[in-house]
Every structure is written in structure tokens, then in C-alpha cells.
Chains A and B, each alone.
Chain A
Amino acid sequence: MFLASIEVLDVDICVQLADKFVARTRASADLKEIMPYLNGMFRSSVYNHGDGSIRFTNDGIEYTIINDQVNIAKFSNRTELYELLDWLKDLINDTYESRSEMTPLYARRKPVPVFFIYNLLPKTNCQRCGERTCMAFAARVNKLEAGIDACPLLFEPEYDASRSKLEGALG
């Protein structure tokens, strides 16, 4: 097995969201080799081949991997953390096993510009996403700190076209 375990080093309150946690963990193997494959898998990923680091989000959870260090943010409790670690470990091992059939992606994905995102948002500053303004929300989406699903208005029929464009750009 490529990755035998991921050990939790510490758990703390999430600075951005008071009802969520962050954790620092350490993998039993250096994960650099697997990163280009993860980069190809997650549209949200920010990969740096030189540094041996990757950041991506999945189901609202943020993962940052630097060599053997794995930081996980925005989970609700420690049981969820261990579920996420199980999921990540299985994903990494499955990816490692199947890597000969996969295409690695070494290029760094370009972030979607803030203004492009802002232009497609409702611009009502309704604050239902938790941000004070649509521009602030666009900045968080650009940094992959938020997903467009946090904006309920985008899911109204009148914004179908805007939402499709955003989904296409953000993946």
C-alpha cells in the first residue's frame, strides 16, 4: 500500500468559520508523486510542481498538501475529520494504483478572475452567502474559499445562464 496512514498532529478552531475546525496531519509517505494526478482530478486545485504542494476543495472541505503534510479545513467535528482522512487515504491509494492509466497534469490552473465571477453574480449584496458584498463573495470564490452553491439567488431560474457560465469556468 502506497499510503499506510495519516496521523493527526493537532486540531484547532477554523479562523474563517467559528463553527468549523482545521487540522494538521502527517501522511506516512511523501505525496509529491501523486499530486499531478490529484491536480488533474480537481478543477479547484492550485498545484505548484516546484514546491511540491497542492490545494483543492471537495464538498466544501479544503485540503492543502505539502510533501507529507496534509492540512484539512472546515470540518464540523473530529469524527468527520477521521472520515475525511479515510476518504483521502483511499483516494490517494486508488490514484496511485491506477496512475498508469491516468494523465498527470503538471500545469498550474489559472484562477478565474474576480471580476469575471462578480459580473455573473446577482449583485444584490443580499449577504445570504455570509459575505457583506457580492464582490467580497467573488473574491472568496476566486481563492477557492467558497463555492457558488453558497449563493442561493444563483439557483433561481433567472440566473440559470449566469450559473452555467460560472460552473463552466470554475469546474
Chain B
Amino acid sequence: MTHPTPLYLDNAATSYPKPDAVYASVIKYMRENGASPGRGNYARALEADRLVYEARKAIASLLGAPRPSQVIFTCNATESINIALKGYLRQGDRVLTTGYEHNAVARPLKKLEDQRRIQVDRVPCTAEGALDMESVKAKLQDGVRLLAVSHASNVIGCVTPLEELVAAAHERGAAVLADAAQTAGAYPVDVTAVPVDMLAFTGHKGLLGPTGTGGLYLRKGLELSTLKEGGTGGMSLSPFPPDDPPDRYEAGTMNISGIAGLRASAQYLLDIGVDAVRAHEARLSGLLLDGLESVPKLTCYGPRSAENRIGLVSFNIEGHDPHKVSMRLDRDYGIMVRSGLHCAPEAHRLLGTAPIGAVRASIGYFNQPSDIERFVGALGEIASLPPD
């Protein structure tokens, strides 16, 4: 059986669909402008400058950043996290992190353990992602220079208590890097109210922009070593990168067509409000959690309440391989979800689901309650099948 209309529930990987203005803006830039910003002096190049600035301004506004120049554009959150970790950490530094980080954080840290002899410690947490705050405070006493945490887990769905963590870290002299890959655009983020030192985001998930876009917010005055050096369009006689952000970190021609789309998606989110997105997704998450409870033999991971989680739920059905569940959903019901380890093996170890992983359904702003009903119905039918 092939379902007539496809149902996309893999928004934690990348959001789909995008607002119509995103497609239109990418095409408009590519067809009608096509120039490189920050370099030429002809009218179209200056228009491209303006376009990139407006994108930066819209993102700064969504994140609560005081100035657009504090937003550095990158290709994705992974690049942003690499810039942050490799630009900030020095030989022998101590880093504190969680036990549910994505490989975007875990792998650069692992490399720096080898290359710069940094010491990485992890905060104990429950299978629902609740951190032991007393342990956080105790570990921070130990000369930790950076606390690197996901704002929300891409497997467990838990939201990290960022405000409490930032206060504890700053009190003890540690800086904070937040990985907002799963939250920016879909869950309120405010770097002024919760003064993280660095915040990495991607443009193609909750921000509803094209793939190949992302960025890093940097606290004013924080200067990192550069990960890459090259042309920035100005000060070309100097053999060194410029001192000031964002140019310092943006060597090479950027993904302007992607940024054109990101500008449109950021403006879309500013118009409807991230709080409205969050409310919609929380409502659907609640329906999903309730619906999954009715499916026999299904184990749901992460916080029980939709209030304490982002719009994704990981689960397994007893006796059924998660990859096969995912394949059946696609083949027989037209429903797209992601199975496996979700690039976050540490989170799956915490859940006890490594090495096989779990099925993850992730909601987007354009999903509706009827989508949840259809998904839960399909799972009920799969659960009633004989075990694999």
C-alpha cells in the first residue's frame, strides 16, 4: 500500500517544507543578482551586501543578539561548533559537557583531547536528560574553562536548563558554548537574557532556511583564533585576517543564495513569532506523546511532558528493528522518520538503545494534528505485526 500523500516527520534532521518566500528569495537572488558581497563596488554587489546584512540582522533579532555583527555566517552548526571549540580552547584546557551531545560537539572535543591534551568531563544525567546541577557546580570548581552543551538533545528531546548553567559557569569563570541546532527558530533563544558566550545554530532546521547555512553568535569582545584564513574582500594587503567580526571568521565567498533564503525564513519567523511556533509544536508533541502511549509494546524515550521537550520523540517497538519500522513507515504509509543513532551515540548509550538506535519522529511548524493521528495509526498497525 502506498499512501497518497507523503508525510514528513524528520524536521530534526532538516525542516520541510520551507515557507514559500524562501524558495522565491533563493531564485530571485540567483536569477536577478548573482553578485558577491563584501567585494565589488558596483550596484549589484552593494545590493548583495545589503541582503547579507539584512539576513544577519533578522537572525540577530531572532536570537536576541544586540548587534548583527555578532552573528557569523557558516555552512552549518557543525562548522560553527568547530570554530568555537578550536578557536577558544587552548592546550590543556578543561571542558565540561553533557552525556547526550551530538557528534558535532563530541568529535571535535575528541580531536582536541588528542591534539591539545584538553580534558573533557561529562555531567551525570538521567535517561530523561535531567542534569545533576550539584554535580555541574562541583565539576565547574575544578578549573573548567568551557561548558559546551546542547540547548536541546536531538535524541532525547530534553531542553537543557541553559539559564541555570550559564549562571553557574560564569560564577566560576567558565565560558559557555550552546549548541542550538535543535532549538533556534523553534524554541525561544535569547542570548541577552541568557548570556551565553557562544551559540551555534543551523539555518535549515527550526530556522526553516536552506541547507548549507548556519552561524555562530559571539559575545561582544570575545575573540577566537580563526579556523580558516583567506580573502575577506577588504584589507587585502595585510597577510593576516581582519580583527573585527564578522569578517574575521568569514574568509572565502559565502553561500549567498542560501543566505538569501535564510533571510526570508528568518523574516517569516519574526512575523509569526517563535513563541507561536513553539506553542504549535508543543501542542503536536503532546498529541504525539499521548498517541504513542496507546501503541502496544512501544517504549518512548525522554521527558514525559511536552512542556519539557522540543518537538521530537524517539521510541522503539518491542521485537521490531527500528530501521525496519522506519522503512515500513515509508514504504507502506508514506511517512518519513529517521532511525538509527542520529549522530548522537552518547545519547543512545544513555537511553540503552546503542548500538541499534531508535526511531525518531520530529515535528515541524507545517505539521497538523491530523498528521499525528495518521502516524500513530500507522505505528499501531506495525506494532501488531509479528516481531522481526
Partner of B68, one of A12, A13, A82: A82
Q: Are B242 and A8 in contact (CB under 8 A)?
A: no
B330 close to A (CB within 8 Å) = no
Stretch at the interface among B46-54, B121-129, B335-343: B46-54
Q: Are B50 and A79 in contact (CB under 8 A)?
A: no
Q: Are B242 and A76 in contact (CB under 8 A)?
A: yes
Partner of A79, one of B41, B68, B237: B68
User: Interface size class for chain B?
Assistant: 20 to 34
A10 close to B (CB within 8 Å) = yes
**What 8 additional pairs, Cβ within 8 angstroms, besides A76-B242, A79-B56, A82-B53?**
A19-B235, A77-B242, A78-B37, A78-B38, A79-B246, A79-B247, A80-B69, A80-B244
A21 close to B (CB within 8 Å) = yes
Residues of B within 8 A of A76 (CB): 242-244, 247
Residues of A within 8 A of B87 (CB): none
A3 close to B (CB within 8 Å) = no
B143 close to A (CB within 8 Å) = no
Q: Are A82 and B238 in contact (CB under 8 A)?
A: no
In the complex, residue of chain B having the shortest beta-carbon distance to the beta carbon of A10? B41
In the complex, residue of chain A having the shortest beta-carbon distance to the beta carbon of B46? A8
B67 close to A (CB within 8 Å) = yes
B234 close to A (CB within 8 Å) = yes
A146 close to B (CB within 8 Å) = no
Residues of B within 8 A of A51 (CB): none
> Chain A: residues with CB nearer than 8 A to chain B?
8-13, 18-19, 21, 76-80, 82-83, 86
CA distance A78 to B235 in the complex (A): 12
CA distance A13 to B37 in the complex (A): 16
Q: Are B238 and A78 in contact (CB under 8 A)?
A: no
Q: Are A11 and B238 in contact (CB under 8 A)?
A: no
> For window 26-62 of chain B, which residues contact chain A by CB distance below 8 Å?
37-38, 41, 46, 49-50, 52-53, 56-57
Partner of B53, one of A9, A10, A19, A78: A78
Q: Are B69 and A19 in contact (CB under 8 A)?
A: no
Partner of B49, one of A18, A19, A82, A83: A82
Residues of A within 8 A of B232 (CB): 77
B357 shortest CB reach to chain A, Å: 42
Residues of A within 8 A of B235 (CB): 18-19
Q: Are A18 and B50 in contact (CB under 8 A)?
A: no
Q: Are B244 and A18 in contact (CB under 8 A)?
A: no
Q: Are A11 and B68 in contact (CB under 8 A)?
A: no
Q: Give the most central of B49, B53, B237, B243: most A CB within 10 Å.
A: B53
A6 shortest CB reach to chain B, Å: 11
CA distance A81 to B289 in the complex (A): 49
A94 shortest CB reach to chain B, Å: 18
Residues of A within 8 A of B234 (CB): 13, 21, 77-78
In the complex, residue of chain A having the shortest beta-carbon distance to the beta carbon of B45? A11
Residues of A within 8 A of B246 (CB): 77, 79
Q: Are B41 and A78 in contact (CB under 8 A)?
A: no
Residues of A within 8 A of B49 (CB): 8, 78, 82
Q: Are B242 and A11 in contact (CB under 8 A)?
A: no
CA distance A83 to B243 in the complex (A): 17
Residues of B within 8 A of A19 (CB): 235, 238, 242
Per-residue CB contact flags for chain B residues 151-190 toward chain A (1 = under 8 Å, else 0) read 0000000000000000000000000000000000000000
B234 shortest CB reach to chain A, Å: 6
Q: A8-B46, A21-B234 are in contact. Are A83 and B41 (CB under 8 A)?
A: no
The 5 nearest A-B residue pairs measured at CB: A82-B53, A76-B244, A77-B247, A79-B69, A10-B41
In the complex, residue of chain B having the shortest beta-carbon distance to the beta carbon of A18? B237
CA distance A3 to B3 in the complex (A): 55
CB pairs A–B below 8 angstroms (16 shown): A8-B50, A10-B41, A11-B46, A13-B234, A18-B237, A19-B242, A21-B234, A77-B38, A77-B246, A77-B247, A78-B38, A78-B49, A79-B56, A79-B247, A80-B69, A82-B57
